[in-house]
Every structure is written in structure tokens, then in C-alpha cells.
């Protein structure tokens, strides 16, 4: 039995920060949507769009829609329209599972044209033409909503997977039917061999599939390289000096311990560390691994003071993002009260008095 689509059969992740780590998702999706032509400009190859190619070949409306769907849409919705993809495990809300029904071609076309607010589904106007929108909407309505058909199998000889059945022992792990961290003595010899095969051949695309223990080993939140077997904030965290000797970046993952935080600031700390520290570091300096590899680099929040960055302006930056940088708009992710909480935490913990900011900024 072949697996349909990248990440087919993946259950949603449930670990802390898995659904909220939007920046990690953003970095992953940049690669996916760029390949899919979702970045607002048609990709360089092929020179003509899939729908146009199918039309030139004399394809039917249904087949034109299939060509567009398999080129533009499967990353999130899956080759079989059931949204069992790797991308879906990171998206909240999850992509639409078309096989659940409740849609017709006009409704699908409307979503393709306008996108869906509060989701990762964006408008495809300007990316594909109106004929392709109509074709892909008709295809989805018939192929998935009505017929619940398989559409296209990814693991084929044409895609570089001849004899994919030889990997059958790994399929239960890829589909999430057996947890990857199941104790060996609870697996049959065939299942142990299947897990070995999954780890050797499948995990690079299918990721970890499903695990029972969502602990640090499987944490979705990345830390500065090298990892050295620890996760910032865990009880076994080495002293800061030891962390520093392991990596010049790792010490910036350590969360400042500030006494007397208000309930709002405590909520802000939770939100900041789950979402913002990916780029700005746990200590707000932006000198962690990811923050220093950005261009422009992530902002060092400790170089601001309340006068130089008024609270209202800080909230605007969080809410609307900052053009020309990697700072995204969070207004579709965080509620207004949550943005207020993050701003209150940043101002209290990271911002410095003007004299200290000036001293830190001098060579």
C-alpha cells in the first residue's frame, strides 16, 4: 500500500509549542509555498502553468484541475484531499479535509479566489488564472468531496520510488499507527525491523510521525546548535557557563529569571518564549542561533527603552509586523489581550533605562 502525499498519515502534534511556534512553521512553509508558486509569482519552471500544459495536451476540465491541484495544493491538502500531510501537523487551524464533504465547486472557487481569513489559505488570484481556478474547484468537488478518490499516489516509480512495497514494514510508523518511541520489547521482530527501516529511509520526509512521550527529545522548539542533550528551562539544564562553552549562541536561550512579574507579564512570558524567542532568543537579545543568521538580524530588545520604543508602538510592531524584515504580523495569531501581555513582558524584562541603553550601544 502506497502512502499518499508527503507526510501522509501524520497525526497532529500535541507537544508544547507545536501549534504556537508560528515562526518555525513560517520558515518551513517558505520553502513549500515557494516551490508551489504560492508566493505571488509563478515559479521559473515549468515555463507554462500546469493548467495551460494540460489544456495544450487536450486534457479535459477535470484533468486540467488535477494538474493544477497536484502542482499548487497538495503540500497542505494532500494528494488525496484529506489533509494528511506534514504541513498539516504544524498548521492551526488545519487545512481543509475535502473528503469530509460539505463543499461544492463554487464554494471551493470562492476560497481559492479570496483565501480564508485566520488560516494559511491565501488568495490565488494573480497566481493562477480564472480558468484554472474554475478547473481546480471542479476537480476538488468531484474527486474528493464526491468520489473520495485517491487522485495521485506519490510513491511511484516515476517519482523515484520503484518497488515502494519493499518499505511496507515502515508504513505503520509513517501513518502513526505505531508510536515511534514504543519500547522495543512491545514490538514484534517485524515491527522492530520496520522501525529501523523508517528511521533509515523515511524519517527525513515523514519526520517523527507519532510519539507517546512529547518530552525534550521530541520537542518541536529548536534551540541553538549544538543541542548537547539539553533543552533550556529543563531541570537538567547545565550552568550558564557550561552552556556558553558548548555554544556561543546557547546562553541566549536561557530565560531571564525576574521576580515580581504581574499575572499579565507572566502570561506574556509564556507567549514570548513559545513564539518570539525563536528569533529574539530566550533573553531577548536576538543573539541566539536563528536570530544571528537572519538578514537583517533579529532585533536586540535590550537596546530599547520605554522612551525610544513607546508601548503603543511596540504593540503596533507585534500586531502588524515590520516590513523589510522577518518580523511577521501576529494579529491573526495572537488575540489583542495576548499582544498586550507580550508587550508588557518585553517592556518589563528586556527594555533598559536610557542610560544603560546608551552605554550598551557605544563601542
Q: Angle at the Cα of 224 (from 222 to 26), degrees rounded to 5?
A: 40
Top-level class of domain 240-361: mainly alpha
The answer to whether 242 touches 260, Cβ cutoff 8 Å, is no
- pTM above 0.75? no
The fold adopted by the segment(s) 22-146 is Cytochrome Bc1 Complex; Chain D, domain 2 (1.10.760)
Of 54, 87, 90, 51, the C-alpha closest to 72 is 51
Of 76, 85, 23, the C-alpha closest to 221 is 23
The answer to whether 295 touches 283, Cβ cutoff 8 Å, is no
The answer to whether 244 touches 250, Cβ cutoff 8 Å, is yes
**Residue 213: per-residue pLDDT:** 81
**Residue 157: per-residue pLDDT:** 79
Q: CA-to-CA distance for 260 and 273, rounded, in angstroms?
A: 18
> What are φ and ψ of residue 128, in 5° steps?
-125, 155
- Residues 253-267, buried b or exposed e (16+ Cβ, 10 A)? bbbeeeeeeeebbeb
Cα 4–chain centre separation: 20
Could you give the residue range(s) of every CATH 1.10.760.10 domain in the chain?
22-146, 240-361
For residue 198, what is its C-alpha cell?
A: 523508517
**Residue 58: per-residue pLDDT:** 41
Q: Which long-range contacts (CB under 8 A, 24 or more apart) does 191-197 make?
A: 193/169, 194/168, 194/169, 194/170, 195/170, 197/167, 197/169, 197/170
Q: Which residues pair with 128 in a beta bridge?
A: 125
Helix (H, G, I), strand (E, B) or coil at 125: strand
**Mean pLDDT per 10-residue segment, the chain (363 residues):** 32 35 41 37 36 49 91 88 81 91 94 92 92 95 92 75 88 89 94 92 79 63 45 49 56 89 96 92 89 87 90 95 89 94 95 70 44
Q: CA-to-CA distance for 23 and 327, rounded, in angstroms?
A: 9
Q: Where on the phi/psi map is residue 223: left (φ > 0), alpha (ψ -120 to 50), or beta?
A: beta
Amino acid at each position: 500500500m502506497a502512502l499518499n502525499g508527503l507526510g501522509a498519515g501524520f497525526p497532529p502534534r500535541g507537544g508544547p509549542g507545536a501549534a504556537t511556534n508560528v515562526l518555525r512553521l513560517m520558515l518551513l512553509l517558505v520553502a513549500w509555498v515557494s516551490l508551489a508558486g504560492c508566493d505571488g509569482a509563478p515559479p521559473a519552471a515549468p515555463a507554462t502553468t500546469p493548467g495551460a500544459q494540460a489544456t495544450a495536451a487536450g486534457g479535459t476540465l477535470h484533468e486540467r484541475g488535477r494538474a493544477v491541484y497536484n502542482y499548487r495544493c497538495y503540500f497542505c491538502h494532500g494528494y488525496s484531499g484529506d489533509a494528511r500531510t506534514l504541513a498539516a501537523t504544524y498548521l492551526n487551524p488545519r487545512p481543509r479535509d475535502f473528503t469530509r464533504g460539505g463543499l461544492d465547486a463554487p464554494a471551493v472557487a470562492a476560497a481559492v479566489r479570496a483565501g480564508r481569513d485566520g488560516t494559511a489559505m491565501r488568495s490565488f488570484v494573480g497566481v493562477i488564472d480564472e480558468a484554472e481556478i474554475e478547473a481546480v474547484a471542479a476537480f476538488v468537488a468531484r474527486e474528493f468531496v464526491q468520489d473520495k478518490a485517491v487522485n495521485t499516489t506519490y510513491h511511484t516509480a516515476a517519482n523515484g520510488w520503484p518497488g515502494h512495497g519493499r518499505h511496507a514494514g515502515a508504513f505503520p510508523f509513517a501513518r502513526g499507527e505505531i508510536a515511534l518511541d514504543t519500547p522495543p520489547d512491545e514490538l514484534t521482530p517485524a515491527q522492530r525491523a520496520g522501525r529501523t527501516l523508517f528511521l533509515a529511509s523515511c524519517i527525513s520526509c515523514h519526520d517523527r510521525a507519532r510519539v507517546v512521550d512529547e518530552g525534550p527529545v521530541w520537542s518541536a522548539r529548536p534551540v541553538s546548535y549544538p543541542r548537547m542533550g539539553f533543552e533550556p528551562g529543563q531541570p537538567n539544564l547545565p550552568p550558564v557557563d557550561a552552556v556558553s562553552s558548548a555554544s556561543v549562541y546557547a546562553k541566549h536561550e536561557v530565560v531571564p529569571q525576574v521576580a515580581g512579574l504581574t499575572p499579565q507579564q507572566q502570561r506574556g512570558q509564556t507567549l514570548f518564549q513559545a513564539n518570539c524567542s525563536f528569533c529574539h532568543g530566550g533573553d531577548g537579545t536576538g543573539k541566539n542561533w536563528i536570530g544571528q543568521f537572519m538578514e537583517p538580524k533579529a532585533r536586540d530588545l535590550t537596546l530599547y527603552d520605554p522612551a525610544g520604543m513607546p508601548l503603543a508602538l511596540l504593540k503596533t510592531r507585534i500586531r502588524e509586523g515590520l516590513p523589510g524584515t522577518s518580523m511577521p504580523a501576529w494579529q491573526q495569531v495572537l488575540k489583542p489581550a495576548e499582544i498586550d501581555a507580550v508587550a508588557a513582558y518585553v517592556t518589563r524584562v528586556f527594555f533598559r533605562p536610557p542610560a544603560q541603553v546608551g552605554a550598551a550601544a557605544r563601542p
